[in-house]
Chain A
């Protein structure tokens, strides 16, 4: 019997979790037959490596900084053993390389993927999000890229304090005055390079949407959620699905406007006068994607079907008021396993 071999990354189910483990769970829960899951890990302590009920076998892959060629070669070697059918990358930082080699993966190795194209990936980058939002009529907090502190100080006084100071790729801090802003500016520019982004603070409730786009403008599924409890890393520890048609409408507009292909997470602030501001669009499923499954929409399964070329109709129903409550769990691991992944590169 032919198995469906699905490789995925993001097995770091730690305090700031990657979505790989929930995606694997979703694939097991869905209607796909004979699924075999192959984990792809960067670090030898990614918890998913050791979850043998969920992940059939794992391999280490080179860090994104090693380049797309190294990634391709490693995937090719793994493919020779595992005959991968579909690959699902789950990290922001690796997507660029996966997008770059996706055509070759398909044509040379027959590995399917379902990724955004370069243009849609770029249009949601933080530094241009506001511009893009304006085109689609989606509100985005005023965001300004600053290339020097003197420029930043000028912009900050126009925006007014407090404001958000954000790194080019990751990290965000609230600055209450110029001294704090300066400190964050230097910290973020050292870590992520220039520009550093200054963003107006919009007050309200954070609401998020996990969604799947078909690449032609269609939205295959979308489920909105409000975080009920947030960790000190800003991650949702518990959340609940919402009924919010306006929010879903905006999410569909974003998916449509970007011709988004694949999974994504849209982060919004809903103000007290019911305005929605798009804060970020993450180019992959969120770590809470299993809530969508639990409330009736299996986005990872749909993604696999789309990747394989099956036609998948839009999912519009989901259960409102479903919750997720995350927990942590200490796996017991034999040293032999740690040794194995380290010395052989697979487990």
Chain B
């Protein structure tokens, strides 16, 4: 999964997609995930990282990540592959 080119994300969690003109907001956890995606991390690596630092069960995290990635795809912020 790759973040689309030119997607700008600010410190406040504001995301702008210059290709479509849409803007979004994401919370701190979302920002961290997008940062890791930008670094080229895989879904497994992201999962492991969050599990090692945050108080969350694996099953719940996986479900939440699935939903988040789905929305990123719907909003054309990431590309699969």
- Chains A, B in direct contact (C-beta < 8 Å): yes
Number of interface residues of B (CB under 8 A): 7
In the complex, what residues of B have CB within 8 A of residue A335's CB?
16, 23
Docked Cα-Cα span, A338 to B10, in Å, equals 12
Most A CB within 10 A of own CB, among B13, B14, B25: B14
Chain B 7-48 interface residues, beta-carbon cutoff 8 Å to A: 10, 12-14, 16, 23, 25
Which residues of chain A from 294 to 347 have a CB within 8 Å of any chain B CB?
335, 338-340, 342-344
- Once bound together, how far apart are the Cα atoms of A338 and B23, in whole Å? 9
Smallest Cβ distance from B53 to chain A, in angstroms? 24
- Nearest-CB distance from B30 to chain A (Å)? 13
Q: A281 vs B23: C-alpha distance in the bound complex, in angstroms?
A: 40
Report how far A340 CA is from B16 CA in the complex, Å: 13
Q: In the complex, what residue of chain B is closest to A336 when comparing beta carbons?
A: B10
| CB <8 Å contact, A344 and B23 | no
A133-149: contact bitstring with B at CB < 8 Å (1 yes, 0 no)? Answer: 00000000000000000
Residue of chain A at shortest CB distance from B15: A339
Q: Is the CB of A343 within 8 A of B12?
A: yes
Distance of A341 from chain B, by nearest CB (Å): 10
In the bound complex, what is the Cα–Cα distance between A335 and B17 (angstroms)?
11
Residues of B within 8 A of A340 (CB): 12
- B12 near A344 (CB under 8 angstroms)? yes
CB-based contact B16/A343 at 8 Å: no
Q: List residues of chain B with CB within 8 A of the CB of A338.
A: 23
What residues on B are CB-neighbors of A339 within 8 Å?
10, 12, 14, 16, 23
CA distance A342 to B24 in the complex (A): 9
Contacts of B16 in A (CB 8 A): 335, 339
What is the CA–CA distance of A280 and B33 in the complex, to the nearest angstrom?
55
Q: Which residue of A lies closest to B16 (CB)?
A: A335
Within 8 Å CB of A343, what residues of B? 10, 12-14, 25
- How far does the alpha carbon of A340 sit from the alpha carbon of B13 in the complex, in Å? 11
In the complex, chain A residues whose CB is within 8 Å of the CB of B12: 339-340, 343-344
Bound complex: CA A343 to CA B11 (Å): 10
**A102 vs chain B, min Cβ distance (A):** 33
Within the complex, what minimum Cβ distance (angstroms) separates A127 from chain B?
42
In angstroms, how far is the closest chain A Cβ from the Cβ of B71? 18
Please report the C-alpha to C-alpha distance between residue A339 and residue B23 in the assembled complex, in whole angstroms: 8
**B13 / chain A contacts, CB cutoff of 8 Å:** 343
Min CB gap A139→B, angstroms: 52
B25 → chain A closest CB, angstroms: 6
Q: Nearest Cβ in chain A — how far from B27, in angstroms? A: 11
Chain A positions within 8 Å of B10 at CB level: 339, 343
Write the chain B residue with the least CB distance to A338.
B23
Query: A92: shortest Cβ distance to chain B, in Å?
Result: 30
| Given A339-B16, A339-B23, A343-B25: 15 more A-B contacts, CB < 8 Å | A335-B16, A335-B23, A338-B23, A339-B10, A339-B12, A339-B14, A340-B12, A342-B14, A342-B23, A342-B25, A343-B10, A343-B12, A343-B13, A343-B14, A344-B12
**10 residue pairs, one from A and one from B, having the closest CB atoms:** A343-B12, A339-B14, A343-B14, A343-B25, A339-B10, A335-B16, A342-B25, A343-B13, A342-B14, A339-B12
Residue numbers of B with Cβ under 8 A of A are 10, 12-14, 16, 23, 25
A-B contact pairs, 18 of them (CB 8 A): A335-B16, A335-B23, A338-B23, A339-B10, A339-B12, A339-B14, A339-B16, A339-B23, A340-B12, A342-B14, A342-B23, A342-B25, A343-B10, A343-B12, A343-B13, A343-B14, A343-B25, A344-B12
